[in-house]
């Protein structure tokens, strides 16, 4: 193998490192925009618990095979990516990027170094001045496009990227779908924007179309983007699938087209672990273009890269006994210290200044002495090669978890048949439940007659459903005159309850007689099941919410202690009077504290 040759380039950006980093560190997007070929990855577990990664691709007349070294990076500081080739003209290919703030301009300066060596005489011909010049020209074009995008001058990151052309039949079909979506309450004027994204976007954005990410990019309410995508599935523009994400690398290692086919668990070869499923944690509703609209080819543009796992803020390769000191400024928040290889982890809360040393011992991970501001230290005190990882404990950004989407009224309306198989059950880490009932409904039937009372109750159900939908909840079922509703977020459940009691006066005036609603709200873990051909919830959280509603007197909200103490609910309680009470509820052995709120 010939010696390694290197070439470096330096670029200046108008934007600071935290803005430029996500663009330059998104190696899969860069490789697609540079028109590099897709490749396949094979993961082979090793005896020490680690995993070896091998890639292969076809580039021009050459069949390439290589081993991927795990990438080194510190977020917003640097990344280093090296491939060792066993087949093809090239022996080694490496990329090293450093990013620093530019005090003079308030922007940033990037230095990019490309390394390459030859395996044979063909490689010696290829790895020469023309190779580096062509690479440099391509990088410079993409970097300039990224800089313009960061400044808000362009709508797409890489404006030179051109999606495959769509034929006239496909365009006509898409136009009909857009019209069909906008004819429903779920289009929100966004259907054409979604269609353009699917037809013109980069493939890296289409393998997992995430509605919450679209909402952020488009500056629209999240519920609107979610409802748009759900309706687009019904129109045939998108496909919906359920991904089972690995809790370590947070990449989908199993998936199903329907909840009734969702596996109970999966194996992640990358992390070499088995894992289970939880609607609140690692079951994601993801979307992709329907094959008839935009077929996507299989293969990776880049397996490793900082933005492939954006929750990982640092990944550093360490030889046995090695210690590395690196610059690094990590924002305050909850972090987990672990290794890429299977093993223990330790959770910390970072103050934003002094990050602790990550220490890898033979059987444990430790948080060592805190370091000076702006510095990170990694120490491998074990006898094995290890890759240290610092990851944010916040879950996948923009992930639409199953607990949230199945608690939306639009999902239940459009996908009422997408349920778990009979006898199956899935954990839900947290769900907020609202139970309601009409006060003195039996007397109401006697006073105004069955027909009038039936219409009044039906209108009351529509009134409740509208408010529940507005607050990102769903009616799970009605029982007589009562409603059971589910919400993924506690604050949504509480604010829905407040809105119901504050708006009920208008319903009373329309009905010509008083309507009094009793409400109970509680949150906690539950089990999702299929009951009477619909998704339902089971467990003590459900029982508690129902019992709390039984404590309501009418016109009030009975709130569990768990709800009242929730950090997201506390701000909504400001200005309200909470009356603390205790009672022994049916099915619960000890007296429980709850709070009564009368909003009006």
Confidence of residue 511 (pLDDT cuts 50, 70, 90): very low
**What is the three-class DSSP state of 167?**
coil
Query: Distance between CA atoms of 7 and 31, rounded to whole angstroms?
Result: 19
Q: How far apart are CA 485 and CA 537, in angstroms?
A: 10
| Residue 200 tokens, joined | 């013109």
What number of CA atoms fall less than 13 Å from residue 151's CA on the CB side? Answer: 13
Q: What is the pLDDT of residues 529-571, one digit of tens each?
A: 999 899 999 999 999 999 999 999 999 999 999 999 999 999 9
Q: 3-state class of 544 per DSSP?
A: helix
The pLDDT confidence band at residue 509, using thresholds 50, 70 and 90, is very low
Mapping DSSP to helix (H, G, I), strand (E, B) and coil, where does residue 402 land?
A: helix
pLDDT in tens, 217-243: 999 999 999 999 999 999 999 999 999
Q: Report strand pairing: 557-560 vs 517-531.
A: parallel
Cα–Cα dist 117/185, whole Å: 59
Report d(CA 305, CA 26) in Å as an integer. 7
The kind and range of the H/E element at 391 are strand 386-392
Give residue 46's pLDDT band: very low, low, confident or very high (50, 70, 90): confident
Instruction: Report the percentage of the chain scoring pLDDT > 90.
Output: 71
In the chain, what are the domains? Answer: 5-150 (3.30.530.20), 168-200+208-289 (no CATH), 311-392 (no CATH), 419-597 (3.30.70.1230)
């Amino acid at each position: 193998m010939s010696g390694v040759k290197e070439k470096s380039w330096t670029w200046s950006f108008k934007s600071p490192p935290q803005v430029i980093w996500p663009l330059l560190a998104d190696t899969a997007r860069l490789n697609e925009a540079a028109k590099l070929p897709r490749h396949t990855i094979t993961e082979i577990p090793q005896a020490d618990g680690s995993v070896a990664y091998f890639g292969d691709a076809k580039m021009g007349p050459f069949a390439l095979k290589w081993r991927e070294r795990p990438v080194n990076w510190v977020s917003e500081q640097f990344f280093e990516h090296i491939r060792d080739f066993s087949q093809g003209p090239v022996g080694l290919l490496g990329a090293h990027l450093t990013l620093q703030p530019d005090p003079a301009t308030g922007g940033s300066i990037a230095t990019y170094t490309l390394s390459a060596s030859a395996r044979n005489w063909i490689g010696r011909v290829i790895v020469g001045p023309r190779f580096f010049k062509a690479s440099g020209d391509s990088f410079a074009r993409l970097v300039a496009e990224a800089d313009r995008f960061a400044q808000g001058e362009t709508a797409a990151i890489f404006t030179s990227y051109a999606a495959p052309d769509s034929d006239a039949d496909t365009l006509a079909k898409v136009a009909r779908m857009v019209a069909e979506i906008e004819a429903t309450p779920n289009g929100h004027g966004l259907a054409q924007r979604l269609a353009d994204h699917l037809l013109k976007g980069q493939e890296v954005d289409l393998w997992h179309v995430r509605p919450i990410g679209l909402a952020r990019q488009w500056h629209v309410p999240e519920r609107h983007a979610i409802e748009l995508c759900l309706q687009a599935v019904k129109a045939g523009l998108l496909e919906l699938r359920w991904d089972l994400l690995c809790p370590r690398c947070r990449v989908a290692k199993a998936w199903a087209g329907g909840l009734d086919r969702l596996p109970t668990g999966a194996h992640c070869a990358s992390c070499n672990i088995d894992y289970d499923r939880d609607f609140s944690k690692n079951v994601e509703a993801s979307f992709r273009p329907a094959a008839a609209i935009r077929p996507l080819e299989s293969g990776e543009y880049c397996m490793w890269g900082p933005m492939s796992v954006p929750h990982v803020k640092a990944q550093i390769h360490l030889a046995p006994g090695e210690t590395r000191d690196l610059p690094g400024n990590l924002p305050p928040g909850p972090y987990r210290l672990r290794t890429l290889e299977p093993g223990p982890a330790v959770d910390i809360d970072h103050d934003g200044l002094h990050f602790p040393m990550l220490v890898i011992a033979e059987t444990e991970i430790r948080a060592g002495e805190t370091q000076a501001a702006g510095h990170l230290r990694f120490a491998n005190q074990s006898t094995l090669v290890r890759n240290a990882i610092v990851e944010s404990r916040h879950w996948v950004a923009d992930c639409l978890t199953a607990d949230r989407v199945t608690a939306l009224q639009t999902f239940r309306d459009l996908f009422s048949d997408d349920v778990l198989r009979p006898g199956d059950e899935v954990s839900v880490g947290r769900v907020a439940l609202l139970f309601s009932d009409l006060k003195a409904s039996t007397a109401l039937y006697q006073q105004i007659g069955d027909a009038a009372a039936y219409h009044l109750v039906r209108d009351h159900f529509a009134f409740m459903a509208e408010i529940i939908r507005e607050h990102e909840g769903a009616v799970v079922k009605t029982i007589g005159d009562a409603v059971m509703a589910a919400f993924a977020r506690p604050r949504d459940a509480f604010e829905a309850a407040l809105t119901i009691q504050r708006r009920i006066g208008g319903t009373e005036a329309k009905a010509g007689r008083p309507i009094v609603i009793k409400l109970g709200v509680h949150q906690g873990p539950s089990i999702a099941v299929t009951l009477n051909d619909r998704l339902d919830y089971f467990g003590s959280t459900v029982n508690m919410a129902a019992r709390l509603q039984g404590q309501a007197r009418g016109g009030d909200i009975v709130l569990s202690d768990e709800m009242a103490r929730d950090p997201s609910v506390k701000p909504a309680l400001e200005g309200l009077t909470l009356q603390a009470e205790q009672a022994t509820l049916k099915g619960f052995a000890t007296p429980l504290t709850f709070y009564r709120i009368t909003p009006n």
